[in-house]
Amino acid sequence: MTGATTDASPAGGSGSRSAGRVLLPVATGRQVRAYLRRVMRGRRPLLCATAVTMIAESLLGLVGPVAIGWITQAIADHRGVGVLVGPVVLLATSTVAGAAAGWGSTVLLARTVLPAVARLREETVAAAVELPIDVVEAGGAGDLVSRVSGDAELVSDAASDALGSFIGSGLAILAALAGLAALDWRFALAGLLAVPIQAHTLRWYLRTSRPIYAGGRVADGRRASALLTGFTALSTLRALRLGASQRDRVEAASAESMDYEFRAVRAATRFYGRLNLAEFVGLGAILLVAYFLVRAELVSLGAATTAALFFAGLFGPINIVLGVFDGIQQAGAGLARLVGITTLTGARDAGRPAPGPIGTAASLTAENVSFGYGEGPDVVRDISLRLEPGRQIAVVGTTGSGKSTLASLLAGLRRPRTGTAALDGVFLEYIDLPQHHVALVTQETHVFAGTIADNLRLARPEATREAIDDALHAVGAHDWVEALPDGIETPVGGGGRPLTASQAQQLALARLWLLDPPIVILDEATAEAGSDTARALDHAARQVTRGRSSVVIAHRLGQAAHADIVIVMENGRVGERGGHEELRAAGGVYATLWAAWSQASSGPA
């Protein structure tokens, strides 16, 4: 099992604990490097071509100062205008060629790096979608959202912008230093006086800003979690008048996040201030050296001008390179959080047995499955069952006995604490998107923003009009959908036409019909027993389970009468197990429940 949310994540990434919550893991430096090597594999030729055009761009950038130096010298020597033609043509050509090389390097960089960033985004979103619910719950959905949005944005910006500037400016610096040395080694030496100050400043800045950025990203995740909790639990918070305390939580998370931002800005201001000092020292030294060298006639005035221009021309690239560390540090913190998500599925895949083909006649088994929420006690205890192809198991029990929890374990949405849930012998957590094999309809059905047809085509994008009508007929929703002004094209969900709970449930069942999975698990409890709605939903449920293997959480006891096996849950355990008639005859808990049910309702539907 991948206990992904503990401090020592299974993949070795470090999870962080905050305010009692264990956040999703953050990848280690080694994991990030391994990930980068993997995504950049096969892109080496493009990367080399990018580097070559960047070097060309930087070298061409040096031609300008050299040409201006020649021109200055020619004017100082009172030479004829004809002498200027060569340097001027060189200046113009190098400018055009430099612009072309700059364009080429930008295009190549985009082709090299942007697909890698896109892949990182895709992989992390895919990994995030596959995370078991308990991992997301423990880590906080907000943290996950902030990773796949904010962190992905930082990495994308750094890769497409900062990285290019970093490489280009780094090369420009090297070339300019070489140019300085070529003019006179003493110029290079004078310019190098700035380096110790810059190196010290950079070391100080990296040491200071790394924890600020890492902490800031985590704080942003926490703020997103607090906000998301506020939105998703809005009605509960309002009903219980808990708005103020939730607002306090959001404010505290925002204050923490802002504190990190202030600290980052303070560090950056001091960083740039110290860099200005380094420039002042370097340029002062070069001008001093130039003064003495020209006076001693060891270098020409033109060479001295070129040297000063070279050094002044270094300010921009140096500031860019050092400033880019800012972006790279932030992106590094974001990248570690993104790769942290992929380590969870990576750890799962490392232990994954090669799954054989899972057929449509697969059998679903649970062996000694136990589960509890968070660090709480087990609410499902030591349950074993086997669902044979085409058979139906009904699970009954009092409220809170663990039925819905068992349903989510059998659907692979949650992972057992101990024991295993498997499909044809393959553990559910080793199967990509087990919903393709096992589909679950829960008590909370989400109506997605879009038309009714859009909602149904989520299950099968290529579904024809006829297929959609069939599905609606099967679940008994065809008539009310047809009666809507735009039929299946009527907008529903998020601002669209409101649907009743049982209509939403019917749409969920129609989606299931289109999805056509071999195994279905039904855990819906929208309708009051004995009502017309209950009868309609029971009919729809029977339609979608016909010919399939199914587990029906029988919130209305009448649903159990048609099952091959009935399991009675008591306090998380299997209390009784057997056929409907067999259990009725046994005179135990089920018989009592059934008698009460039959009396209270107008009879089984």
- Summarize as ranges the residues that interact with ligand ATP (CB under 6 A): 373, 379, 397, 399-405, 555
Structure token digits, residue 128: 């995030």
Q: Which is nearer to ligand ATP, 26 or 525 (CB)?
A: 525
Q: Which is nearer to ligand ATP, 320 or 379 (CB)?
A: 379
DSSP, collapsed to helix, strand or coil, labels residue 302 as helix
State in angstroms the smallest separation of the CB of 440 from ligand ATP: 13
In this structure, the chain runs to a length of 605
Q: Which is nearer to ligand ATP, 217 or 555 (CB)?
A: 555
What stretch of H or E contains 111? helix 82-130
With CA atoms as reference, report the closest residue to 188 among 310, 62, 63: 310
State in angstroms the smallest separation of the CB of 381 from ligand ATP: 11
**429 contacts 420 by C-beta, under 8 angstroms:** no
Q: Which is nearer to ligand ATP, 31 or 405 (CB)?
A: 405
Q: Which is nearer to ligand ATP, 348 or 414 (CB)?
A: 414
Q: Which is nearer to ligand ATP, 359 or 400 (CB)?
A: 400
Q: Which is nearer to ligand ATP, 194 or 411 (CB)?
A: 411
Alpha carbon dihedral 44, 48, 49, 50, in 10-degree steps, equals: 100
State in angstroms the smallest separation of the CB of 350 from ligand ATP: 29
- What's the CA gap between 421 and 430, in Å, rounded? 10
State in angstroms the smallest separation of the CB of 236 from ligand ATP: 13
State in angstroms the smallest separation of the CB of 146 from ligand ATP: 22
With CA atoms as reference, report the closest residue to 344 among 11, 1, 6: 11
- What's the CA gap between 329 and 399, in Å, rounded? 51
Q: What is the DSSP string of 387-438?
A: E-TT-EEEEEESTTSSHHHHHHHHTTSS--SEEEEEETTEEGGGSSSGGGTE
Q: Which sign, positive or negative, has the C-alpha torsion 24, 29, 30, 34? A: positive
**160 contacts 109 by C-beta, under 8 angstroms:** yes
- What's the CA gap between 324 and 205, in Å, rounded? 12
State in angstroms the smallest separation of the CB of 26 from ligand ATP: 25
State in angstroms the smallest separation of the CB of 142 from ligand ATP: 17
State in angstroms the smallest separation of the CB of 405 from ligand ATP: 3
- Give the chain's largest Cα–Cα span: 120
- What's the CA gap between 65 and 58, in Å, rounded? 12
**241 Cβ contact list (under 8 Å, min separation 6):** none
Q: Which is nearer to ligand ATP, 138 or 167 (CB)?
A: 138
Q: Which is nearer to ligand ATP, 405 or 526 (CB)?
A: 405
**510 contacts 536 by C-beta, under 8 angstroms:** no
First-last CA distance in the chain: 41
State in angstroms the smallest separation of the CB of 519 from ligand ATP: 19
**475 contacts 506 by C-beta, under 8 angstroms:** yes
Q: Which is nearer to ligand ATP, 375 or 462 (CB)?
A: 375
State in angstroms the smallest separation of the CB of 525 from ligand ATP: 6
- What's the CA gap between 137 and 415, in Å, rounded? 13
State in angstroms the smallest separation of the CB of 373 from ligand ATP: 3
Q: Which is nearer to ligand ATP, 401 or 543 (CB)?
A: 401
Which DSSP symbol is given to 330? H
